[in-house]
Amino acid sequence: MKTFSEKVREARTLLHLSQEELGKLIGVSTRAVVAYETAGTRPRPRNLRKLAEVLQVSVDYLSNDEIDDPTYGIEKQPYVEETRKLYGSKAAREIDFLMERNIALFAGGEIPQEAKDVYFEAVMQAYLECKAQAKAKFGIKKNAD
């Protein structure tokens, strides 16, 4: 089991990036990267997403010391990010929760990635449709003059 610091340092090293280069790519100081790698300091959510993207690992991998697979959950990230853009951070956490629970359905089986993508797309579309209906029904009504 690796710590957050070990995972960041290892992934950065595999990509042949200096701490300074990594900092520039994610928009933080070299000092912040050093703190990630030595003090176990964790970045804010937005920077964590950038860090995972640059290091080519999943947010789940960086966030959870018990996850050893750098690609664990990476297939759900595009859906989470699309939801974040449409409805914000709370909705992104909700869809992430839904996707995480659904990943377990594929455990132990050999399902083509295309089939997983179709499934995740359907889950996301159902979620977004429910959000749109809730917004239409319960959202703030504008006065028609």
Rounded CA separation 97/118 (Å): 18
| Tens-digit pLDDT profile for residues 93-109 | 999 888 888 776 766 66
Report whether 79 contacts 126 (CB < 8 A).
no
For the chain, what is the domain count? Answer: 2
Same domain, 105 and 124: yes
Task: Tell me which residue range forms the domain holding 133.
Answer: 74-138
Rounded CA separation 32/54 (Å): 15
Same domain, 57 and 78: no
| Tens-digit pLDDT profile for residues 7-42 | 999 999 999 999 999 999 999 999 999 999 999 899
The three-point CA angle 111-113-116 to 5° equals: 75
- pTM summary value: 0.78
